[in-house]
C-alpha cells in the first residue's frame, strides 16, 4: 500500500495510490496520515479498505496534483550520519563504531517536489538521497529482533545539507541540516509488505540530468533494525517519527573538485519501489 498526502501546502489531505496510479481520498476515514493512523491497527484498517470505494481525486500525482510530505505532524526527524561504507570512504572518514545521530528540524520538511531554497549566503549546499523509516508502533529500548514490527513504512528523503554550516561553523551537524526546505519527504509512504528487501534497494540522485549518486542500501553499515533499536536507547519513538538512514557515495562534497548547488538546478532522486522526487533549487526568499 502506498499512502500519501495531497493538496496545497498546509492543507494536505490523506490519500492512497490505487493500482491505476490515481489518488483516492482518505479524509473520510482518517483526519491525517499521522499519529494513530500509522499505528499497526491504523495501517490494518487502511489495508482493509477497497480503494474503489474511496472518492477519486482529480489530477495525477506529481503531474499537476501536488503531493505534500507523506507523513503529517512529524514529531522527530532523526538522521544517521556516515552510515554507508562507500560514502564514508569518499569523505575520508573512519567507519563509525556506533551510529552517528543528528536531527533535522521539522520546519525543514517539505513535499517531494517542492522547491529547495539555498540559505542566504550559502556556498556549499549539497544533496543526499536517503531511505526514510517511518515509525508506526512507538516504544523505547526496542529489541533489535522486534524492531521491524515498529515500522509503518518507508519513504524517500533528500537530506539537503549546507556543508559550511555543518562542518566549518562550530557546534553540531544540525546547523547545516535543518534549514527551511532541507527535508523533502515522499512521494509516498510504502508499507513494508510492498518492499521486497529493504537491505538491497537501488537508490540514485541526479542534478540537471547528471547522475551523481548511484548506490544501494546493501552498503549500509548499520541496518534498519539495528538503527531503530539503537535510537530507542536514547529517546522514545512515537508513531510518525522519521529516521533517515544515511546516504551512498556521490554527494557534492565528495566530487573532485567539490560541486555544490548554486541555484537554478533541478535535483531528481529516487529509491527502488519507493518513488521519485524532483526539486528545483532556488534562492531563499
Residue 32 lies in a domain: no
Residue 215 lies in a domain: yes
Residue 167 lies in a domain: yes
Name 215's bridge partners. Answer: 203
pLDDT in tens, 18-47: 999 999 999 999 999 999 999 999 999 999
Question: CATH code at 274?
Answer: 3.90.850.10
Residue 5 lies in a domain: no
Number of domains the chain contains? 1
Q: What is the pLDDT of residue 92?
A: 77
pLDDT in tens, 226-261: 999 999 999 999 999 999 999 999 999 999 999 999
Q: What is the pLDDT of residue 47?
A: 97
Q: How many CB atoms lie within 10 A of CB 227?
A: 23
Residue 64 lies in a domain: no
Enclosing domain of residue 173:
72-283
Q: What is the pLDDT of residue 284?
A: 85
C-alpha–C-alpha distance, residues 129 and 102, integer Å: 16
Residue 51 lies in a domain: no
Nearest to 190 by CA among 47, 55, 91: 47
Q: What is the pLDDT of residue 93?
A: 76
Residue 39 lies in a domain: no
pTM flag (> 0.75): yes
DSSP for residue 235 = S
How does 174-191 read in b/e, with b if 16+ C-beta sit within 10 Å?
A: ebbbbbebbbbbbbbbbb
pLDDT mean for each 10 residues of the chain (285 residues): 98 98 98 98 98 97 98 98 85 87 97 98 97 98 98 98 93 92 98 96 98 97 98 98 97 96 98 98 90
C-alpha–C-alpha distance, residues 280 and 282, integer Å: 6
Amino acid at each position: 500500500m502506498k499512502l500519501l498526502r495531497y493538496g496545497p501546502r498546509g492543507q494536505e489531505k490523506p490519500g492512497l495510490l490505487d493500482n491505476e496510479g490515481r489518488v483516492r481520498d482518505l479524509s473520510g476515514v482518517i483526519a491525517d496520515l499521522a499519529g494513530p493512523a500509522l499505528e499497526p491497527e491504523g495501517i490494518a484498517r487502511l489495508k482493509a479498505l477497497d480503494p474503489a470505494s474511496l472518492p477519486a481525486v482529480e489530477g495525477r500525482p506529481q503531474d499537476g496534483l501536488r503531493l505534500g510530505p507523506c507523513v503529517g505532524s512529524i514529531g522527530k526527524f532523526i538522521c544517521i550520519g556516515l552510515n554507508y561504507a562507500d560514502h564514508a570512504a569518499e569523505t575520508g572518514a573512519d567507519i563509525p563504531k556506533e551510529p552517528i545521530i543528528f536531527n533535522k528540524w521539522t520546519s525543514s520538511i517539505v513535499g517531494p517536489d517542492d522547491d529547495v531554497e539555498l540559505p542566504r549566503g550559502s556556498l556549499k549546499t549539497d544533496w543526499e538521497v536517503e531511505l526514510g523509516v517511518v515509525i508506526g508502533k512507538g516504544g523505547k529500548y526496542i529489541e533489535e529482533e522486534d524492531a521491524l514490527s515498529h515500522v509503518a513504512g518507508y519513504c524517500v528523503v533528500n537530506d539537503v545539507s549546507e556543508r559550511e554550516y555543518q562542518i566549518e561553523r562550530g557546534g553540531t551537524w544540525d546547523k547545516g541540516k535543518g534549514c527551511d526546505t532541507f527535508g523533502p519527504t515522499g512521494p509516498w509512504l510504502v508499507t513494508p509488505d510492498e518492499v521486497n528487501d529493504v537491505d538491497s534497494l537501488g537508490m540514485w540522485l541526479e542534478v540537471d540530468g547528471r547522475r551523481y549518486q548511484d548506490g544501494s542500501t546493501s552498503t549500509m553499515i548499520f541496518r534498519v533494525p539495528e538503527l531503530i533499536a539503537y535510537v530507542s536507547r536514547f529517546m522514545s519513538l512515537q508513531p510518525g517519527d522519521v529516521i533517515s538512514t544515511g546516504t551512498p557515495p556521490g554527494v557534492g562534497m565528495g566530487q573532485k573538485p567539490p560541486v555544490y548547488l548554486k541555484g537554478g538546478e533541478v535535483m531528481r532522486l529516487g529509491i527502488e519501489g519507493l518513488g521519485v522526487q524532483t526539486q528545483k533549487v532556488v534562492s531563499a526568499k
